[in-house]
Amino acid sequence: MSRVCEICGKHPAAGNVIVRKGSPKYKGGIGLHTTGISKRRFMPNLQTVRATDGKGNTRRMTVCTRCIKNGKVTKA
């Protein structure tokens, strides 16, 4: 299954997990120090929905929840 929304095209995005050690300066510490950075992926919240496409046909679509909430999908 493709991890892309069929309506808006939302797809997985890349980012970092940053591990920090120490106490922040505003709490009286010496400051935060980065001890590790590793890659991660932000996955879209995709749902499989029975919906009607523009031609009036009913089919299963992979759609993100934002498109469902905003009414971009008409459920069958």
Q: pLDDT tens digit string along 54-72?
A: 788 999 999 999 999 999 9
User: How many structural domains are present in the chain?
Assistant: 1
Whole-structure pTM value: 0.76
* Alpha-carbon gap, residue 30 to 38, rounded angstroms: 24
Report yes or no on 20 lying in a domain.
yes
Report yes or no on 4 lying in a domain.
no
Report yes or no on 48 lying in a domain.
yes
Report yes or no on 38 lying in a domain.
yes
Report yes or no on 27 lying in a domain.
yes
Report yes or no on 49 lying in a domain.
yes
Domain with 65 in it = 13-69
Report yes or no on 76 lying in a domain.
no
- State the DSSP H helix or E strand holding residue 55, giving kind and residue range, or none if neither: none
Report yes or no on 42 lying in a domain.
yes
Q: Give pLDDT, residue 1.
A: 64
**9-34 residue pLDDT tens:** 999 999 999 999 999 999 999 999 99
Residue 35 — φ and ψ, nearest 5°?
-110, -15
> Residue for token digits 């934002």?
66
